[in-house]
Amino acid sequence: MDLLAHLPALQVVVPMLSAPLIVLLQPRGLAWAGATASALVSFAIAVTLTLAVLDGQTLEYAMGGWPAPFGITLSVDALTALMLLIVTGASAIALLAAKPSIDQQIELERQPLFYSAWMLAMSGLVGIVVAADAFNIFVFMEISSLASYILIAGGPDRRALPAVFKYLMMGTIGATFYLIGVGLIYMMTGTLNMADMEARLGDVTDINPVLVAAGFITIGLALKAAVFPLHVWVPNAYTHAPHMVTVFLAACATKVALYVLIRFDYMIFQAALVDHQMQFALFAMPLAILGILVASAVAMFEGNLKRLLASSSIAQIGYILLGASFVSIAGLSASASHLFNHALAKGGLFLAVACLAYQYRDLRLSQLGGASKRMPWTCAAFVVCGLSLIGVPGTAGFISKWLLINAALQSGPWGWALVAIILVSSLMAVVYIWRIVEALYFQPPTEEGDVVAEAPLQLLIITGLVAILNIYFGLFPQVPLELANSAASLLWEGAQ
Amino acid sequence: MTAETAILMAIIVPLFGALAIVLAGRISPNLREAATAVTSISLIFVVWGLLPTIMDGGRPAIEVSELMPGISIAFKVEPLGMLFAALASGLWLINSIYSVGYMRGNKEKNQTRFFACFALALSATMGVAFAGNLFTLFLFYELLTLSTYPLVAHKGDAATVRSARIYLGVLLSTSIGLFLPAIIWTYSLAGTGDFVDGGILAGKLNDPEIGLLLGLFVFGIGKAAVMPMHKWLPAAMVAPTPVSALLHAVAVVKAGVFAITKIIVYVFGIDFLFDAPSSQWLLYVAAFTIIAASVVALRQTNIKRLLAYSTIAQLSYVIMAAAILKPLAEVGASLHMVAHAFGKITLFFAAGAIYVASKKTEVQQLRGIGRRMPWTMAAFTIGALSMIGVPPTGGFVSKWYILAGAFEANNLVAVFTIIASTVLNAAYFLPILYMAWFEREPAGGKEHGEAPFLAVLALCITAMLTLAFFLFNGPVIELESQVLSGVSE
């Protein structure tokens, strides 16, 4: 089909072009409708691309008809498709639910600009995923970062401003490091196209600049991906952002940077550098383990609901990195499937938080008493997504945890220690999720509002839907698993 | 209805029942109770309808979803599971009758949530009973923990929530920390987790590791309350009595010992385990639990906590019997599962009836209560005698078989444990009986009669069952002997 061939480009172009158009949609509600429609179209494109990939195709698109090493190319393989589904899906679901919450948090006349920034952020993230050359990844990274600064600072919470300033600083450092690394590689190979880069690196004799480049790129992307201990920008940014922005960004923003990190490392450095697999494992594994344990421990003692979940996100990023650091197919497919499952669980949790925030101004756990009586459906959805985050069987989260433990067992003599760490951190997740559950269900009600008031139906239905998806993909995980498995074998072949 | 659909129905019927209970609860309590009754009666029809097929040697199986290659949600009915499902579904009906009397008599809050979660717990129990592989077993095992949590935390005050936290904490951390790695280990060794006659691990695991894996399973299945993983059971006693009666004397705890038995029989294989010296420890741990829990029970002053420690001891009877790894003892294990269920549910029903009628919760308050509540105390007496193992009660039959198995294996430790624990059981039950029937009530006590009719009716039925099981235990023995001979034509 002819249109199919253009879909990789349209995936980026649709949200990008809709951004300026949305600014023009001043009348009440239209901006939201435009943004949602655009996100849904993007999601449909992502689904179509995924179906094509599942058929066994890898789609390549040369922008403007210029062939590969010279022109800009986009490519879509299994891992790309998985990420596209996550980014566009998270954006579409968040926007579908967003209207009541955004109406409450953002003045009407600023809304078109806000939604337009949302579209830019989304097109940037999508662009990072599909771009097949290192420089365009940087360009899209800047687009998405600048737009998400606006999104995070766009709410009524003034504390978002220092948070975003911190994010801006660290994000810029990360992007600069990345750019320095790419520059070094360009110096050595004369190309920016990633496939070409890999091929030409084989001929490079002086390997030291490439090694330095690998260091810069890995650290830069780890900053963007909030890998422990470079995560300090995350808690405040997630906590003070408008609630729906948190849903969107928590589900996909850091994962995209992690995606680039894993892809760059496996596809380029591991193939070109001797012993780099070992270097990567020794760099990533301790950070992943520390991240999992420290962030989970912080979450266990955190009192603010959103900040607690943000800490948990850092731990979950650790899981994804841990899987990748095993340097095995099993580990990679555990990582890839956790990308998807964590997006589902954490997206659902933050949606439920948005529902709660609609009625409760103060999101500290001590202020949430009696919520289960006032908002039974929201709380039920929260519990389901929380179970998925813990990794209880029958939910999506269990699938990736099973894969991860299996991969850890196969990873050599230290496998059992790794399994123990994963299990201990699961138990820590039980603790921090259950603290919330007890607050919602058993704490005596606070004075604030004795009325029974659920969140608006629109918000509630989508939240419930995501909760059901968490169960559905726990019982029928075939499609995401197939994507994750072929993504893993792609990366693995790339590394050889 | 084919046997395959009946399996799915057994899980779905209580699920829809829970939904119906929630919906009906918004209209009227009577309609809600009707929904419970209809659900439990339909469940009995579904589950007991499977019985003839299994008796004839049929093993209906069905696969719902294959999650990953080799790992699927699948069900298979075999004699042990059939027995457990039939027991739990049958007692649910009686327990529902009792619950209505108890909850109304006590004017409890949140009754709709209570009955709905009860139905959910039964759905999970059916899943545990019919699970066809380790993964499915684990799935429903965890669901059972989660669905019973709201029941334990029912009262909602600070002390209850703290106890419920212990309940959830112990059960989840053992299952995630030990049971799950055991399952994954098994899958990675055998490539499958299916329950197969004769086991799946033979020849794939060597000696010291066999004992280790067995340990992960036994302590990971915290519901079986083998010491030191037993703390959750006394903690769970804060729940309303019907919960303690059905779930913490039958469904939940039996799900634990049932899972261990099933793993011994269908994952390890009896013969394989018998040849592994490193698996011997299980017998000693179970024996220790029996004696220790009985000694602790001696010192309890609260009726329900006393019954909880008695349950811990009795559960380890089943495990010890299974660990003797001899045919007669295995028969004794399943007989004891049933006999203890009848006896202990009667005891809990009686304790609950006493609480509803008189608000008494302590052993010392029972002086002379036999005259005020003759029916209740008669049933209590029958239950207590069954715990001790006096004929003509069900408890005698199962102890007989376990003892016979112990002699067959020349296992003096088991023999000694059974005798010692019988003495201990008598030492903590007989004084209660004496107080209730022969001592005088202290003056100035509250005037009260029997508990509400429905509650008394239920406990009389289970007391009758305890007596009847002394004579009519043929079907259980027949089912169990199928397990041992591996009949499956």
Can you tell me the distance from the alpha carbon of B393 to that of B216, in angstroms, rounded to the nearest whole number? Answer: 35
Can you tell me the distance from the alpha carbon of A209 to that of B263, in angstroms, rounded to the nearest whole number? Answer: 57
pLDDT at site A165: 92
- State yes or no: pLDDT of A1 exceeds 60: no
- State yes or no: pLDDT of B486 exceeds 60: no
Go through chain B and tell me how many residues it has: 489
Of A213, A225, A209, nearest in space to A284 by CA: A225
- State yes or no: pLDDT of B381 exceeds 80: yes
Q: Tell me the pLDDT band of A56, cut-offs 50, 70 and 90.
A: confident
Residue B68 parent element (H or E): strand B61-68
Can you tell me the distance from the alpha carbon of A252 to that of A219, in angstroms, rounded to the nearest whole number? Answer: 19
Q: Tell me the pLDDT band of A86, cut-offs 50, 70 and 90.
A: very high
- At A252-265, the pLDDT tens digits run 888 999 999 998 88
- Written as one string, the DSSP assignment of A160-207 is HHHHHHHHHHHHHHHHHHHHHHHHHHHHHHS--BHHHHHHHHTT----
What's the CA dihedral at A381, A383, A384, A387 to 10 degrees?
160
| Percentage of chain A exceeding pLDDT 90 | 42
- State yes or no: pLDDT of A373 exceeds 70: yes
Calculate ∠ Cα A350-A355-A357, nearest 5°.
Answer: 90
Cβ-nearest to A481 among B68, B146, B177: B68
Among the residue ranges B107-116, B344-353, B391-400, B413-422, the one predicted with the least confidence is B107-116
Cβ-nearest to B173 among A392, A427, A481: A427
Cβ-nearest to B176 among A399, A423, A477: A423
- State yes or no: pLDDT of A145 exceeds 60: yes
DSSP 8-state code for residue B302: B
CA distances from B273 to A110, A143, B135, B189, B201 (A): 71, 63, 21, 16, 10
| Percentage of chain B exceeding pLDDT 70 | 99
Q: Tell me the pLDDT band of B107, cut-offs 50, 70 and 90.
A: confident
For residue A74, give every residue at least 6 positions away whose Cβ sits within 8 Å of its Cβ, in sequence order, or none.
Answer: A8, A9, A12, A60, A61, A63, A130, A131, A132
Can you tell me the distance from the alpha carbon of B127 to that of B43, in angstroms, rounded to the nearest whole number? Answer: 13
Span B32-55, mean pLDDT? 87
| Percentage of chain B exceeding pLDDT 90 | 7
Can you tell me the distance from the alpha carbon of A158 to that of A144, in angstroms, rounded to the nearest whole number? Answer: 22
CA distances from A23 to A31, A115, B208 (A): 7, 8, 70
Cβ-nearest to A475 among B73, B143, B185: B73
Q: Tell me the pLDDT band of A192, cut-offs 50, 70 and 90.
A: confident
What φ, ψ does residue A155 adopt, rounded to 5°?
-85, -175
Flag if A394 and B142 touch (Cβ within 8 Å).
yes
Flag if B67 and A430 touch (Cβ within 8 Å).
no
Can you tell me the distance from the alpha carbon of A84 to that of A82, in angstroms, rounded to the nearest whole number? Answer: 5
- Residues in chain B within 8 Å Cβ distance of A406: 184, 187-188
Q: Which residues does residue A75 pair with via DSSP β-bridges, in sequence order? A: A60
For residue B443, give every residue at least 6 positions away whose Cβ sits within 8 Å of its Cβ, in sequence order, or none.
Answer: none
The sign of the dihedral angle between the CA atoms of B382, B385, B387, B393 is negative
In three-state secondary structure terms, B280 is coil
Q: Tell me the pLDDT band of B325, cut-offs 50, 70 and 90.
A: confident
In three-state secondary structure terms, A489 is helix
- State yes or no: pLDDT of A371 exceeds 70: yes
Can you tell me the distance from the alpha carbon of B401 to that of B414, in angstroms, rounded to the nearest whole number? Answer: 12
Flag if B165 and A402 touch (Cβ within 8 Å).
no
- Residues in chain B within 8 Å Cβ distance of A427: 172-173, 176-177
What φ, ψ does residue A272 adopt, rounded to 5°?
-95, -30
pLDDT at site A147: 93
- Nearest chain B CA: its distance from A60 CA (Å): 30
Q: State which amino acid sits at residue A336.
A: A
Flag if B138 and A393 touch (Cβ within 8 Å).
yes
DSSP 8-state code for residue B367: T
Q: Tell me the pLDDT band of A450, cut-offs 50, 70 and 90.
A: low
Span A72-98, mean pLDDT? 90
- Residues in chain B within 8 Å Cβ distance of A403: 68
pLDDT at site B450: 77
- Written as one string, the DSSP assignment of B370-394 is HHH-HHHHHHHHHHHHHHHT-TTSH
- At B249-260, the pLDDT tens digits run 788 888 888 898
CA distances from A117 to A140, A150, A242, B25, B312 (A): 14, 7, 13, 47, 61
- At B274-299, the pLDDT tens digits run 888 887 888 889 999 999 999 998 88
- Cβ distance B479 to B82 under 8 Å? yes
CB atoms within 10 A of CB A413: 6
- Is the CB of residue A376 less than 8 Å away from at least one CB of chain B? no
- State yes or no: pLDDT of B488 exceeds 70: no
What φ, ψ does residue B65 adopt, rounded to 5°?
-155, 135
- Is the CB of residue A423 less than 8 Å away from at least one CB of chain B? yes
- State yes or no: pLDDT of B441 exceeds 80: no
pLDDT at site B489: 31
User: What are the structure tokens assigned to B448, written together?
Assistant: 């009260």
- Is the CB of residue A113 less than 8 Å away from at least one CB of chain B? no
Burial of B158 (0-12, 13-18, 19+ CB in 10 A): exposed
- At B456-483, the pLDDT tens digits run 888 888 888 888 888 887 777 887 777 7
- State yes or no: pLDDT of A448 exceeds 70: no
pLDDT at site A491: 86
Can you tell me the distance from the alpha carbon of B6 to that of A486, in angstroms, rounded to the nearest whole number? Answer: 38
- Residues in chain B within 8 Å Cβ distance of A430: 168-169, 172-173, 176
- At A457-489, the pLDDT tens digits run 888 999 999 999 999 998 888 888 888 988 888
- State yes or no: pLDDT of A449 exceeds 60: no
Cβ-nearest to A442 among B138, B156, B181: B156
Window 53-92 of A: residues touching B by CB (8 A cutoff) are none
- Cβ distance A75 to A132 under 8 Å? yes
Residue A101 parent element (H or E): helix A78-105
- Residues in chain A within 8 Å Cβ distance of B67: 399, 475-478, 481
Q: Tell me the pLDDT band of B487, cut-offs 50, 70 and 90.
A: very low
A33 vs B69, higher pLDDT: A33
- Nearest chain A CA: its distance from B57 CA (Å): 31
pLDDT at site A38: 93
Q: How many helices (H) and strands (E) does chain B have?
A: 22, 2
Q: Tell me the pLDDT band of B414, cut-offs 50, 70 and 90.
A: confident
Helix residue ranges per DSSP H, A275-414:
276-301, 305-325, 329-359, 371-374, 376-390, 396-409
Q: Which residues does residue B75 pair with via DSSP β-bridges, in sequence order? A: B62, B131
- Nearest chain B CA: its distance from A83 CA (Å): 21
Span A226-254, mean pLDDT? 89
DSSP 8-state code for residue A230: S
- State yes or no: pLDDT of A346 exceeds 90: yes
- At A285-306, the pLDDT tens digits run 999 999 999 999 999 998 899 9
The sign of the dihedral angle between the CA atoms of B317, B320, B322, B324 is negative
Average pLDDT value over all residues in chain A:
88
Can you tell me the distance from the alpha carbon of B214 to that of B255, in angstroms, rounded to the nearest whole number? Answer: 17
User: What are the structure tokens assigned to B458, written together?
Assistant: 């239920």
- Is the CB of residue A419 less than 8 Å away from at least one CB of chain B? yes
The ipTM is 0.84
